[in-house]
Amino acid sequence: MTSVYLDYQSSKPVDPQVVQAMEPYFQKIYGNPSSLHSIGDKATDALEQSRSSIADFIQAEPDEIIFASGATEANNLALIGYAERNKSKGKHIIISEIEHISIHNTAKFLMKSGFSVSKVPVNHYGQVSVHKVNERITDDTILISIGYANNEVGTIQPIEEIGRLCRDKEIAFHTDAVAAEGLLPLNVQNDSIDLMSVSSNDIYGPKGLGILYKRKGIKISPQIIGGGQENGLRSGTEDLASIAGMARAAKIVMEERENEVKRLQSYRDQLIKEVLEKIPRSYLNGHPEKRLPNNAHFRFDGIEGESLLLSLNDKGIAVSTGSACSSKTLEPSHTLISMGLLHEEAHGSLELTVGRFTKQSDIDALIKALPEVVERLRKLSPLY
C-alpha cells in the first residue's frame, strides 16, 4: 500500500472543504442554469457566483471565464478556436519546445489544417528566451502559446515579458497555467495575457473541469456545438457541482497561498539539498532558482527512471518520472531532450512534487529510501 505520495503534479486529492461545497449541487440545487423557472434561477445564481470567484482567482472579469471539461479542452479551444476564427489575419503560430503534450498535439492538428507552427528552443534550465520568441515572429504570426511554468522540471517562464512583447506586436498570447496555478499569483492583466488555461484538480478541486480565460475583444470559434452555453463558446449543460467545487478551491488557495508556498518550498529545498548530498552523480533538472516551490526534479547516472519509480512504489512511495499525460509512451521526456540531455540521461529522471497534504515524515521516508534504491539499481545496471 502506498503511504507516501510525492506526485502532486500529476494529480491532487480533492480538499474535504471542496467536497463539502459540492454536496448541495447533487440533490438540493439541481436545476439547469438554462431553465427559466425558479429552480433554474437558483442554479444560474450559483453558476455566476462561482464564475465570479474563479475570475477573482486570476484577476479577470466573470464574463471572461469559459468553463470546459479540463485544461486539455481549454488548450484546444484556445489554439484551434483562435486559429480558425482569425486565419484571415495569418496562419502562423509559435509554441515552445517544452509545452504540455496537449499543446504539441493541438499544434500538430493545426499543421494538418494548413497552419504553420514554429517551436522556440529552451536553454539547459528549460527556460524560454524572450529574444528567441521575438526572432520567430513573422508578419503571418497570429498566436503565441508559452506555458506559465513547466509541468515536469518546474522552471518558471518570463511570462510578463513575453506578454508585453505580444501586446506590442498585436499578437494574441495564450498560456497554459496549470503547473503554476495555486503556487504562483496569476494576474492576467499584469501579464498581458489574452487566453489562459486553468485546471480545477490542480488547485485541489474535482477532476474533469477547467476554464479558459478569454480577454474581452478576443474572438474564437467554438469547438463543441450545441445549445449555446458559455456565451455560445462551449455548449453543454454546466457541471454545477464541480464548478462550485472549483470556486471553493480557488478561495482556499487565495486565503492560504502565502503560508502554504513557504511550507512547500522548505520541503522542496530539503529534498534538493539532501538528495544531491547523499547520492553521488545525481543532478538537479530545471532552473535552480526560478522554479515552482513544490518541484524537485532529478536525474541519476546509470539507472532507468521507470525502475526507480517501481522500486520506490514497492516501498510505499509514489513518485513520477515525468508528465503523467504522456507516460504511456516509452519515449524519453521531450522536455529533457529539448534541454540538451542525452536519451540515457533523460531516462534516468525522477520528479518529486509536494502538496497540501505532504508531511515532514513523507520527506524523511523518501530521503531514507532513495539512496538505497539508487545504489541497488546501479549495481544491477550494465550502464553504471
Write down the pLDDT at residue 382: 79
Cell numbers describing residue 242 = 464541480
Give the phi and the psi of residue 381 in degrees, each rounded to 5: -85, 130
- Assess whether 201 and 218 both reside in one domain: yes
Q: What is the pLDDT of residues 161-203, one digit of tens each?
A: 999 999 999 999 999 999 999 999 999 999 999 999 999 999 9
Three-state SS for 18? helix
Cell numbers describing residue 144 = 503565441
CA distances from 176 to 19, 74, 173, 376 (A): 26, 9, 10, 39
Write down the pLDDT at residue 344: 84
What is the residue whose three cell numbers read 521531450? Answer: 334
CA distances from 125 to 27, 83, 128, 175, 342 (A): 49, 30, 9, 19, 14
What percentage of the chain carries pLDDT values higher than 90? Answer: 92
- Assess whether 270 and 295 both reside in one domain: yes
Residue 356 in contact with residue 15, Cβ under 8 Å?
yes
Write down the pLDDT at residue 332: 82
Q: What is the pTM of this model?
A: 0.95
What percentage of the chain carries pLDDT values higher than 70? Answer: 97
CATH number for the domain spanning 346: value is 3.90.1150.10
User: Of the residues 252, 275, 299, which one is the last residue of a structural domain?
Assistant: 252
- Assess whether 228 and 277 both reside in one domain: no
Decide: residue 382, CB within 10 A, 0-12 exposed, 13-18 middle, 19+ buried.
Answer: exposed
| 166 given a catalytic annotation | no
CATH number for the domain spanning 64: value is 3.40.640.10
Question: Would you say residue 331 has pLDDT above 80?
Answer: no
- Assess whether 241 and 267 both reside in one domain: no
Write down the pLDDT at residue 2: 64
DSSP-assigned letter for residue 233: T
Give the phi and the psi of residue 141 in degrees, each rounded to 5: -75, 130
pLDDT grade for 384, boundaries at 50, 70 and 90: low
E-state strands within 21-115: 65-68, 92-96
Write down the pLDDT at residue 345: 86
Give 276's Cβ-side CA count (13 Å radius).
13
Cell numbers describing residue 249 = 478551491
pLDDT grade for 324, boundaries at 50, 70 and 90: very low
Question: Would you say residue 18 has pLDDT above 70?
Answer: yes
Decide: residue 208, CB within 10 A, 0-12 exposed, 13-18 middle, 19+ buried.
Answer: middle
Give 129's Cβ-side CA count (13 Å radius).
10
Question: Would you say residue 329 has pLDDT above 60?
Answer: no
- Assess whether 166 and 237 both reside in one domain: yes
Question: Would you say residue 30 has pLDDT above 70?
Answer: yes
Give me the mean pLDDT over the 62-84 stretch: 98
Instruction: Report the number of distinct structural domains present in the chain.
Output: 2
- Assess whether 32 and 145 both reside in one domain: yes
Question: Would you say residue 326 has pLDDT above 50?
Answer: no
- Assess whether 238 and 282 both reside in one domain: no
Which one of 101, 325, 337, 369 is the catalytic residue?
325
Q: CB under 8 Å to 203, separation ≥6 — which residues?
A: 12, 57, 181, 182, 246, 249, 250, 252, 253
- Assess whether 170 and 244 both reside in one domain: yes
Of the candidates 326, 303, 284, the residue with the CA atom closest to the CA atom of residue 383 = 303
User: Of the residues 193, 218, 252, which one is the last residue of a structural domain?
Assistant: 252
Cell numbers describing residue 92 = 502562423
In Å, how far from its chain's centre is CA 160?
Answer: 17
Residue 207 in contact with residue 70, Cβ under 8 Å?
yes
Task: Provide the 10 A C-beta neighbour count for residue 99.
Answer: 25
Q: What is the pLDDT of residues 208-248, one digit of tens each?
A: 999 999 999 999 999 999 999 999 999 999 999 999 999 99
Write down the pLDDT at residue 325: 46
- Assess whether 127 and 229 both reside in one domain: yes
> Can you give the residue range of the structural domain that contains 87?
16-252
User: Of the residues 221, 252, 283, which one is the last residue of a structural domain?
Assistant: 252
- Assess whether 190 and 318 both reside in one domain: no
Write down the pLDDT at residue 23: 97
Write down the pLDDT at residue 250: 98
- Assess whether 242 and 274 both reside in one domain: no
Cell numbers describing residue 68 = 470546459
- Assess whether 226 and 328 both reside in one domain: no
Q: What is the pLDDT of residues 107-161, one digit of tens each?
A: 999 999 999 999 999 999 999 999 999 999 999 999 999 999 999 999 999 999 9
Residue 249 in contact with residue 203, Cβ under 8 Å?
yes
Question: Would you say residue 338 has pLDDT above 50?
Answer: yes
* Mean pLDDT score of the chain: 95
